[in-house]
């Protein structure tokens, strides 16, 4: 398989880059398109469709093909995979539960390939209830059909920090409430990667003693909001506490798993009336958690070193690379985010593309497929 990555700030620039990319006889069959919500999705889809290229498309909150991150642009990874080895699926869930739709899609994947591997995205109302329906349970539903050993990678679509509605799309179809998958024949297409976070847990392990949905009310039988403020070293007046918003402070829990590395769950809003805190992603009573330190420069090097180890142990040569990185890493890392992206790309030294997401999907280190917060999920791809 051959791959090329292109980028631009308009459909016209993508058209020019595509024409330049195929002058040597390169005939891509699949395009991963990560695009700003402000761009003309139909125009980009049309020009790829005219070339007979199948599209996996998602709106982004920043996109990249190297360490040069754009905001409001378009990034495309072109691949000439044998069409017999993959299929693109897009289903709308406006009239069905997302889990039901995910099950139907995975059944189709299993009908097509005995050993499928999946790369996916989903669009949703970022301020609505569907946000919580496309997390852990979504992954468990896919596994219930395809099996726990199935590789699942991806990220939820973004919308340039607007946090309203996102879009996924393929050839001549787009939806603000949908799931898109590229299903690979796992016997012919190898995928391997890592869900890398780097937020170090600190302090003693605590237990979630009261939780409903994605709201935590008590930690170690004490009001959750008070516990978070204590961790931050803040002593707020009642008036200050009512207006306090922790979402931009990078506060997160490290949630233990029976198998593999912990997963990160970001802290969203406070409700000071009942002293609860909202969690980005699912959390349950009985979960064991620790607070975390924000990621720092050492994390960038750690991600690169781990990628090098995976390359040596699992995939000496790759054909292409995809990256799904949480929007939180961009705000926390700043310019270092480009170093993290380029560090992984240089390990494999192949064409790559990626975007900043509203939640990531990937296999935890030595663990299971998970829904992640504040995590960089990368996946290397090779056709046998």
Q: Which of 274, 292, 310 is the last residue of a domain?
A: 292
**pTM for the model:** 0.91
Say whether both 179 and 325 belong to one domain: yes
Q: Are 218 and 209 in contact (CB under 8 A)?
A: yes
What is residue 379's predicted lDDT score, i.e. its pLDDT? 95
Domain extent for 278: 201-292
pLDDT band for position 247 (cuts 50, 70, 90): low
In this predicted model, what pLDDT tens digit does every residue of 363-382 receive, in sequence order? 887 778 999 988 899 999 99
Same domain (yes/no): 93, 134? yes
Among 261, 292, 323, the domain boundary falls at 292
**Domain co-membership, 79 together with 210:** no
Residues 255 and 321 in one domain: no
Residue 345: pLDDT band by 50, 70, 90 thresholds? very high
Contact 356, 330 (CB under 8 A): yes
Distance from C-alpha of 354 to C-alpha of 359, rounded to nearest angstrom:
13
Mean pLDDT of the chain: 90
Question: Domain ends where: 260, 276, 292?
Answer: 292
pLDDT digits (tens, 9 = 90+) for 136-154: 889 999 999 999 999 999 9
| Domains in the chain, number | 2
DSSP assignments along 9-29, one per residue? SSHHHHHHHHHHHTTTS----
DSSP label of 1: -
Task: Kindly report each contact of residues 106-112 with a partner whose C-beta sits within 8 Å and lies 24 or more positions away, as own/partner.
Answer: 106/141, 106/142, 106/145, 106/146, 107/145, 108/183, 109/145, 109/146, 109/181, 109/183, 110/145, 110/146, 112/87, 112/183, 112/185
Distances (CA, A) of 342 to 3, 8, 60: 17, 19, 19
Residues 183 and 206 in one domain: no
Strands 30-36 and 54-60: parallel
Q: Are residues 180 and 222 located together in one domain of the fold? A: no
The reply to whether 134 and 53 lie within a common domain is yes
Residue 262 belongs to domain with CATH number: 2.40.10
Each residue's pLDDT tens digit, 83-141: 999 999 999 999 999 999 999 999 999 999 999 999 999 999 877 655 567 888 899 99
């Amino acid at each position: 398989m051959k791959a090329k990555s292109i980028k631009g700030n308009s459909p016209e620039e993508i058209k020019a880059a595509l024409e330049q990319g195929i002058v040597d006889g390169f005939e891509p069959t699949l395009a991963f398109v990560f695009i700003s919500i402000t761009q003309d999705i139909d125009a980009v889809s049309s020009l790829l469709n005219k070339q007979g290229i199948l599209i996996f498309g998602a709106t982004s909150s920043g996109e990249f093909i190297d360490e040069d991150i754009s905001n409001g642009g378009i990034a495309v990874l072109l691949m000439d995979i044998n069409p017999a080895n993959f299929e693109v699926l897009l289903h709308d869930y406006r009239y069905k539960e997302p889990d039901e739709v995910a099950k139907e899609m995975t059944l189709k994947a299993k009908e097509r390939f005995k050993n499928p591997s999946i790369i996916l995205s989903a669009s949703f109302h970022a301020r609505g209830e569907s946000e919580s329906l496309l997390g852990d349970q979504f992954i468990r539903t896919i596994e219930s059909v395809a099996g726990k050993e199935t590789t699942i990678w991806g990220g939820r679509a973004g919308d340039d920090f607007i946090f309203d509605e996102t879009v996924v799309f393929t050839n001549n179809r787009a939806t603000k409430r949908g799931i898109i998958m590229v299903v690979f024949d796992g016997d012919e297409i190898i995928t391997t990667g890592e869900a890398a976070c780097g937020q170090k847990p600190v302090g003693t392990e605590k237990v979630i003693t009261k939780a409903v949905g994605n709201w935590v009310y008590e930690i170690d039988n004490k009001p959750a909001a008070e516990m978070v403020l204590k961790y931050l070293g803040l002593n707020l007046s009642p008036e200050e506490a009512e207006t306090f918003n922790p979402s931009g402070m990078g506060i997160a829990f490290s949630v233990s798993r029976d198998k593999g590395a912990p997963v990160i769950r970001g802290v969203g809003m406070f409700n000071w009336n009942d002293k609860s805190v909202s969690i980005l992603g699912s959390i349950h009573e009985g979960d064991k958690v620790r607070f975390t330190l924000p990621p720092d420069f050492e994390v960038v090097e750690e991600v690169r070193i781990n990628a090098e180890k995976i390359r040596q142990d699992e995939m000496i040569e790759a054909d292409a690379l995809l990256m799904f990185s949480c929007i939180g890493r961009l705000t926390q890392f700043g310019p270092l985010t480009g170093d993290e992206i380029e560090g992984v790309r240089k390990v494999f030294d192949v064409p790559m593309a990626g975007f900043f997401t509203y939640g990531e999907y990937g296999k935890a280190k030595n663990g299971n497929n998970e829904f992640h917060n504040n995590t960089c999920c990368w996946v290397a791809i090779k056709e046998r």
